[in-house]
Amino acid sequence: MKREQLHAPKGVSEYVPPRSASFEWIRDHLIAPAKAAGYQLMELPVFEDTNLFSRGVGESTDVVSKEMYTFEDRGGRSITLRPEGTAGVMRAVIEHSLDRGQLPVKVFYSGAFFRAERPQAGRYRQFYQVGVESIGLDDPAIDAEIIALADTAFKNIGLKKYRLEITSLGDAQSRAAHKVDLVKFLKSLDLDEATQSRAEINPLRLFDDKREEVRSKMAAAPLLMDYLSAASRENFAQVCSYLDALGITYTLNPRMVRGLDYYTGTTFEFIHDDLGAQSGIGGGGRYDGLMETLGGADLSGIGFGLGVDRILLAAEAEGVLLENQFASDLFIIPLGQIAKERALSLAQDLRQDGFKVEIAFGDRALKGAMKAADKSGSAFAVVLGETELSSGSIELKRMKDGELSSVKISELGKALSAHA
């Protein structure tokens, strides 16, 4: 009986060798700067109570209103696969009273997120994000540090063709004042039905409409930037001057819109130029009311989410991933049973010393095994047979030029570091 070929669900991103090594490398580099700055891991569930997102992210967002994977579990509870990370982090911070300790609470996370969207280049139904959050203190210096964490990660990866856009969404009064004028302005516009209803849900959304006819109409729209209260303005100026001091280049984009409702104050986005329509590789901002909304103390926080899938795409587009970055140091080719036994323990010893060591398995002809060593990209190869076992010395072959050097088997480790 023939079985149907099984496929991964539509639109998920998955990584298998050899590309999985690049994925892992990118993800680790995204996390590293946060770790170096004292941020600690949050390992949270991928599914949560649906209310967490409808309350936290906002009912008016597309993410909540039409992109969530929501289902009922066996106990009749409404469960949702996490579409973003911040809400879950806040829930956990409140639940474990982390905010009762020293502030800010500094955490990072890494994992899969889910959104039921139509897949496209750089947009997946299951995707990966690395996020960082600093909760409990409203200090412009933290805003700058958070932004710098992402920027440093991109620089360390070797990305060049990305840019940072920032703006301030101000405080509640700033936004309220602006909204009145914006709504008035939008009413004067002749918009199609779909756009009109979008405007009703969240008038700010019209600022990032890509259609030319909408963009030209929006050119004269009142900007939130111009409605900032004195305090908000001062706060944002501080953030900018810290960024200047850090040597981080950015452009002000007063028309920037984020898709999650909880953002306030400093808000930013990293955009990559080689990516097509889904060009945002990361974004975030401050969220003043989120924690209180979720039943916690009235504390402010700031954080970001970085799209690992998209950043991998960007790194590949820029060609910054080195080909043999992940290859082994040594490839051992044993000849015969006894040699195989010795190869196993030799490999184990060398691995203990920190070398990446592979063994040629399955009795292939020497030529074939050598070919496998070549394909593996390993820096060195050795053939371990009767001669070597009895003499105790072995020919260490440097693969890039074929140069052979005779070394004692017991000193292979030394030789590897010396010849590298």
Residues in the chain: 420
CB nearer to RNA: pick between 198 and 233: 198
* Residue 63, number of CB atoms within 10 A of its CB: 19
What HEC string does 158-217 produce?
A: CCCCEEEEEEECCCHHHHHHHHHHHHHHHHCCCCCHHHHHHHHHCHHHHHHCCCHHHHHH
Whether 304 contacts 127, CB under 8 Å: no
- Find out whether 300 and 287 touch, Cβ atoms under 8 Å: yes
State yes or no: residue 111 binds RNA (CB under 7 A): no
DSSP 8-state assignment for residue 260? S
Helix and strand numbers, DSSP H then E, in the chain: 15, 16
Residues 167-226 that bind RNA (CB under 7 A): 198, 205, 208-211, 214
CB of 215 to RNA, least distance (A): 9
Query: Using the rule CB under 7 A, is 150 a contact of RNA?
Result: no
Question: What is d(CA 57, CA 53) in angstroms, rounded to the nearest whole number?
Answer: 5
**Interaction of residue 368 with RNA, rule CB under 7 A:** yes
Residues 146, 71: Cα–Cα separation, whole Å: 34
Closer to RNA by CB, 337 or 352: give it: 337
User: Measured from the CB of residue 316, what is the shortest distance to RNA in angstroms?
Assistant: 12
Closest by CA position to 202, among listed 60, 57, 54, 59: 60
User: With CB under 7 A as the contact rule, which of the stretches 162-170, 272-280, 288-296, 409-417 interacts with RNA?
Assistant: 272-280
As measured in angstroms, the least distance from the Cβ of 137 to RNA is 22
Say whether residue 387 binds RNA (CB under 7 A): yes
Three-class SS string for 134-155?
Answer: EECCCCHHHHHHHHHHHHHHHH
Per-residue interface string for the shown chain with RNA, residues 11-50, x marking contact by CB under 7 A: x---------------------------------------
Q: 51 vs 120, which CB is nearer to RNA? A: 120
Min. distance of Cβ 232 from RNA in angstroms?
21
**Which residue, 145 or 309, has its beta carbon nearer to RNA?**
309
Q: Which is nearer to RNA, 238 or 278 (CB)?
A: 278
Let me know: does 89 contact 109? Beta carbons within 8 Å. yes
User: Cβ distance 313 to 275 under 8 Å?
Assistant: yes
3-state secondary structure of 345: helix
User: Which residue do the tokens 């984020």 mark?
Assistant: 258
Q: Which of 374, 392, 410, 417 binds RNA (CB under 7 A)?
A: 374
Which residue, 67 or 316, has its beta carbon nearer to RNA? 67
Does 397 engage in binding with RNA (CB under 7 A)?
Answer: yes
User: Given candidates 49, 276, 317, 340, which one binds RNA under the rule CB under 7 A?
Assistant: 276
Instruction: Please list every residue from 114 through 133 that binds RNA, using CB under 7 A.
Output: 115, 117-124, 127, 129
Torsion of CA 217, 221, 224, 227, to 10 degrees: 180
Minimum Å distance from CB 131 to RNA?
9
415 counts as binding RNA under rule CB under 7 A? no
Position 323 contacts RNA (CB under 7 A): no
Complex with RNA: residue 62 or 103, whichever CB lies closer:
62
Strand order in the sheet with 251-252: 40-41, 105-114, 126-135, 301-307, 280-287, 264-272, 162-168, 251-252
Question: Between residues 70 and 278, which has the closer beta carbon with respect to RNA?
Answer: 278
Shortest separation between residue 80's beta carbon and RNA, angstroms = 15
48, 143, 269, 358: residue in contact with RNA (rule CB under 7 A)? 269
Distances (CA, A) of 162 to 283, 303, 330: 12, 19, 37
How many amino acids of this chain bind RNA (CB under 7 A)? Answer: 73
Which residues between 62 and 91 bind RNA (CB under 7 A)? 62-63, 67, 84
Q: For the residues of 2-53, what is the DSSP string, one character each?
A: PPPPP-PPTTB----TTHHHHHHHHHHHHHHHHHHTT-EE----SEEEHHHH
Contact call for residue 281 and RNA (CB under 7 A): yes
Kindly tell me which of 277 and 297 has the beta carbon lying closer to RNA.
277
Which residue's CB is nearer to RNA, number 62 or number 181?
62
Of 104, 305, 334, 413, the residue at the interface with RNA (CB under 7 A) is 305
**Pair 336, 386: CB distance under 8 Å:** yes
